[in-house]
Structure 1
Amino acid sequence: MQSILNHKLVCQRDQFFIPNDVAYLNCAYMSPSSKRVDDVGQKALMLKRFPYQITAQDFFDNVSKLRSAFGNLINTIDSDRIAVIPSVSYGLSSVANNIRIGKGDNIIMAHEQFPSNVYTWKSLAQKSGADLLTVKPPLDTDNRGKQWNERILEAIDQNTKLVAISNVHWADGTLFDLKRIRERTREVDTLLVIDGTQSVGALPFDIADIEPDALVCAGYKWLTGPYSIGLAYYGPYFDDKEPIEENWINRKESEDFANLVNYQDEYKPKALRYSVGEQSNFVLVPMLLEAIIQLKEWGIENIQSYCTELMSTPIAELQDLGCKIEDGEYRGNHLIGARLPEHLQLEQLTNELVKRKIYVSIRGDAIRISTNIYNHAEDLNRLVDCIRDLS
């Protein structure tokens, strides 16, 4: 099926299992499975009943399709640059394992990134003697996103060996200007590693435009796939580096089962060496593949446009109630953080949200609202009414 790019999306709630009395505004926590993905998963689960039907080729075919589908989603035709990973931390560990860094060098990251995109670099800095520099946003909420981006650009210098950042901040949706950051990293010859978990699948991302050295994505959020599987892109810097594990399937000519006892020193090319062992997962791989196919049919640009239109009125209403929200130029509209006015008690709001079956995430002094194409205006109306009733 062809993408419906440039066609206005209508609410796709009927493609999911969300009850009518639930306002699920928490895709940044975990996406629901669509009916199509759920159906594929159930059929795949039953396959293990009949292992004699699983052929040697089945270890490779769906994985190849998955890598191609993800490559198409992020605009790279070279699917050999895509690896199957079990988690973001796994994908980032492959990066950390292959960086030359030492005392006097530094690693740049944004303040309060997701832990998996912190612990990896904290460990690397401790082992290597490099400095880990965290760039904080300004305390002032006016022009916060713009100033934060400028601070990140200013922090990158000749001693920077790695910039580790996301496209949108996982806690409040602040949009980072990856294009300018990439230009700055080129000026000082440093690596750019992006955690795309909270953006890829809902916000257009173009490998050819940004050209990161690595992009890692968990599959269970905006890619709308299952838990414990993700995908990573690795650029030319990593073509001849070492994976963090030695598994049979990432070696040259592993497709020939009869020849596996003739051990190979050579890895498969490019990013294929970084895929996790047992990457052929006969349940999770077809589910994530179906999820990405469905996203492509809806069109990522269309999904972001849908969320933008859906959130426009609620954002204005929340601001009228005293909530602080990032300027439109520096936020993704599928994920926003609304910082509450001081008079509103967070605990009281949390309890009331649960009573009303409204699901968001609390991150610091903000509520994180993350919508997708299964949400409709009534979901947001219920949230705004809840905050208004307590104000």
Structure 2
Amino acid sequence: MTQTDFRSLFDFPRDFAYLNCAYMGPIPKASAQAGQEAYTHRQQPWTLDVQEVFFDRPEALRAHAAKLFGATADDVALMPAASYGLCTAAANLTLERGQDIVVLGEQFPSNVYVWRRKAEECGGQVRTVTRNDGQSWTEALLAAIGKSTGIVAVPNVHYSDGGRVDLAAVSDAARAAGAALVLDITQSLATGPFDLDRIQPDFAIAAGYKWLLAPYSIAYTYIAPQHQNGTPLEDGWVIREGAEDFSSLSNYTDRFAPGARRFDMGERGAVQTLPAALASLEWLNTLDMDWLQSQLRARTDHLAEAVAPFGAVCRTPDRSANILCLTLPDDAPADLAGRMANHGVAVSQRGPRLRVSPHIYNDEADLKRFITAVEAELG
């Protein structure tokens, strides 16, 4: 592993191993400092620069998010949550009566409820894909996409078992069926490369508070050019053409700002939170995504091999690099994640699995602490 001390960029006590980025990513020290300074400025609103707060800073955030998508700034909307982006996608896609919306079994709820409503409104149905033992999510998906498919709405990484979806293969199948492709890439964006040109989604959404290391209530949504003349969920002032001119805001217009900006959330300036989110994206964009993916793979591979003798085994075919989900032995404590916390280790329990999600801030001592804790509880 790299000798760079990434751990020092975060506020971690030495006797604690945070291996739970899939639950909530820690904010780097520099990002926290930027946020704290923003709160200080917010105490004196007369000192805030209108152009910077409402326009320049959101544009900088949009541009840095676009780099992670491999897109242009014009293609990215700023939103408060992944659910907001998914609702935007549902509102701007057509589903014919009798068509299917394909989702994964045990998918995160925000990427299910919205499609249930869409299917009910349009006279379609949600088709939930399950996988057999030894079958990858990609294999199960490709078998389910066909002539009745109208929308494919899936993640890149399954949040509860860590399974990877081959987005290029799924994109090809969706296009062949004439179906739209909507991606929730919250659990994968900024953990490895995202090949936008190859995948060509209609919409791709990522919440910021996990792997993007942002405060809560920030999300980024890629919107393909063919959908950028659609209908936003809000009719706010800041998404309109000429909003920069505060002296003429009452000269109402039906024209929107260019590109995906019309889909931005209200109060996108978010004076107290955008500086922290921006600092995190700036740092993430200094990392080579192929290198980062290899680093995360090395950590999860090492952990998987080390704890297998204790009966904690990854049974997910084609798992992602950044999330390791371990099937536990029958006699494992029901509250194993809580017990791990007593050993100074933060992980999650999702269903019958222990979910482990390290980042490059986790060093050898962190990994050893996890292995020792598993041995103590299961060995």
- The two structures have a TM-score, normalised by structure 2, of 0.95
Q: 1:277 to 1:149 in 2, by over 3 A?
A: same
Paired position in structure 2 for 1:92: 86
Query: How much does 1:342 deviate?
Result: 1.7
State the match for 2:120 in structure 1: 126
Q: Which runs of 5+ in 1 are unaligned?
A: 1-6
Deviations 1:266-319 (A, max 9, x none): 122221111001111112222111101101113322222222222332211222
Counterpart AA for 1:62: R
Is 1:53 the counterpart of 2:47? The answer is: yes
In the alignment, which residue of structure 2 is the partner of 1:3? none
CA-CA distance at 1:262 after TM superposition: 0.7
Tell me the residue number matched to 1:245.
Answer: 234
Which of 168, 188, 195 lines up with 1:206 in the alignment? Answer: 195
CA RMSD of aligned residues (A): 1.6
Q: CA separation in 2, counterparts of 1:197 and 1:115?
A: 13
Task: Give the SS at the match of 1:45.
Answer: helix
Matched residue SS, 1:60: helix
1:9, 1:303 within 8 Å by CA — same for their partners in 2?
A: no
- 333, 345, 367: which one pairs with 2:321? 333
C-alpha separation between the residues in 1 aligned to 2:329 and 2:371?
Answer: 14
State the shift of 1:8 in Å: 4.5
- d(CA) in 2 for partners of 1:233, 1:62: 18
Find the partner of 1:108 among 91, 102, 126. 102
Task: Pick one of 330, 343, 349 that aligns with 1:342.
Answer: 330
The equivalent position to 2:254 in structure 1, one of 250, 255, 265, is: 265
The more displaced of 38-47 and 309-318 is 309-318
SS of 1:183's equivalent in the other structure is: helix
Q: Is the 8 A contact 1:60 1:280 kept in 2?
A: yes
Distance 1:263 1:67 in 2: 25
Letter in structure 2 aligned against 1:274: F
60, 64, 74: which is aligned to 2:59? Answer: 64
Deviations 1:194-239 (A, max 9, x none): 1111111112212122111111111110001111111110002312
The amino acid of 2:357's aligned partner reads S
Structure 2: gaps (5+ residues): none
Query: Structure 1, residues 317-367: CA drift from partner, whole Å, max 9, x if none?
Result: 22232233146x7122211111112232323x2342121121101000000
Match of 1:357 in 2: 344
Q: 2:68 is matched with which residue: 59, 73, 79?
A: 73
Task: Confirm or deny: 8 A CA contact 1:239 1:270 kept in the other structure.
Answer: yes
In the alignment, what sits opposite 1:21? 15
The normalised TM-score by structure 1 is 0.92
- Range with bigger deviation, 241-250 or 45-54: 45-54
From 261, 284, 290, the equivalent of 1:301 is: 290
Tell me how far 1:9 sits from its aligned partner: 6.1
1:312-323 matches, within 5 Å, as 312-323=301-312
Structure 2 partner of 1:144: 135
- Partners of 1:344 and 1:144 lie apart in 2 by 25
Contact kept in structure 2, 1:193 and 1:212, CA below 8 Å: yes
Q: Is the 8 A contact 1:9 1:306 kept in 2?
A: no
Matched, 1:156 2:145: yes
Q: Residue 232 in 1 paired to residue 221 in 2?
A: yes
Q: Find the aligned partners of 1:89 and 1:311 in 2 and give their Cα distance.
A: 28
Tell me, in whole angstroms, the C-alpha distance in 2 between the residues paired with 1:45 and 1:32. Answer: 19
After superposing on structure 2, the runs of 4+ consecutive aligned residues of structure 1 that deviate more than 3 Å are none
Matched positions, count: 377
